[in-house]
Amino acid sequence: MDQRVSLVTLGVGDLGRSRRFYEGLGWKRGNRDEGVVFFQIPGGVLALWGRHELAAETGLRDGGGFGGIALAYNARSRQEVDAVIAEAERAGARILRHPAETVWGGYSGYFSDPDGHPWEVAHNPAWLFDTQGGVVLPALS
Amino acid sequence: MDQRVSLVTLGVGDLGRSRRFYEGLGWKRGNRDEGVVFFQIPGGVLALWGRHELAAETGLRDGGGFGGIALAYNARSRQEVDAVIAEAERAGARILRHPAETVWGGYSGYFSDPDGHPWEVAHNPAWLFDTQGGVVLPALS
């Protein structure tokens, strides 16, 4: 199994509402299928699909709420963290934590999308970006 | 907010157990920090971190179990789907669904990692791969 994740699927309660939320952040949908929304991201795809369908497909029982997975968006500066958190709030996100300095020497805040999926928005001065905006871990010395 | 996900963090109950599971799939850790494990993936990072810490960090209440997010690994053939599912099972994964044809014209199965996080392993004949193994949506015509 190669070291990669092709797709992250967020289960949603209302596909139109969730699509509009991400489009409100400036994202462009990459498919025209009914019932599922794909966004091309560097290295893979972020998908929106019905949470009930996703639970049924995996065979897992869905107790609702948080499931121990968070997404993160790395910004190139602290100012960009503040700007993205403000943009998400304008698009209807709930702010879970306002940006602040972190114990690991960076700066981050959290919002949640219309289904409660958490996104960290972070500036980590030790991490690099590739030309497509993907993050690159520093080499192990 | 650019269209990207920098990091996917899986909350885990036992960091050593989860690290060994992913290393058992052939993955190489990209950091040496205590308390968190990073794996470089195309476009970003897959992180393992304590589920309690992740819940506390986001401020979300964790009822346990599935939270409506699934990861997927796209394979280049049906044979590779079968091989990856078998490899995951040997590494200790629970098989949630054995590979079978899908309604969307592909072939996929599901396993879950030691913390129950679901992974689909899929072959989608309509999706392309870039040189790093990242998936690329077909152009909208």
Q: Which residues contact A86 (CB under 8 A, 6 or more apart)?
A: none
Residue B35 belongs to a domain: yes
Residue B84 belongs to a domain: yes
Q: Other CB atoms closer than 10 Å to residue A28's CB: what's the count? A: 10
State whether A85 and A35 are in the same domain.
no
CA distance A9 to B94: 20
Token match 């996080």: residue? B117
pLDDT, one tens digit per residue, over A78-89 is 999 999 999 999
Residue B134 belongs to a domain: no
What predicted TM-score, i.e. pTM, was given to this entire model? 0.94
Residue A140 belongs to a domain: no
What are the backbone angles phi and psi of residue A34, rounded to the nearest 5°? -75, 140
- Per-residue pLDDT at B2: 95
CB contact under 8 A, B72 and A6: yes
Mutate to test the interface with B, among A28, A60, A77, A96 (most CBs of B within 10 A): A60
Residue B141 belongs to a domain: no
Measured in angstroms, the CA of A16 and the nearest CA of chain B are apart by 17
CA distance B123 to B99: 10
Enclosing domain of residue B10: 1-61
State whether B56 and B77 are in the same domain.
no
Residue B42 belongs to a domain: yes
pLDDT, one tens digit per residue, over B52-61 is 999 999 999 9
For residue B75 the two structure tokens come to: 């394979």
CATH code for position B108: 3.10.180.10
For residue A73 the two structure tokens come to: 């968006």
Residue of chain A whose Cα is closest to the Cα of B7: A72
Residue A55 belongs to a domain: yes
CB contact under 8 A, B72 and A5: yes
Strand partners, A121: A73, A109
ipTM score of complex: 0.94
- Per-residue pLDDT at B111: 97
CA distance B135 to B131: 9
State whether B49 and B8 are in the same domain.
yes
Mean pLDDT to the nearest integer, A92-119: 96
State whether A75 and A56 are in the same domain.
no
Per the CB < 8 A criterion, the answer to whether A39 and A50 are in contact is no
SS3 B132: coil
Q: Which residues of B touch A116 (CB under 8 A)?
A: 60
Q: Which residues of A touch B55 (CB under 8 A)?
A: 66, 68
CB contact under 8 A, B66 and A61: yes
CB contact under 8 A, A38 and B137: yes
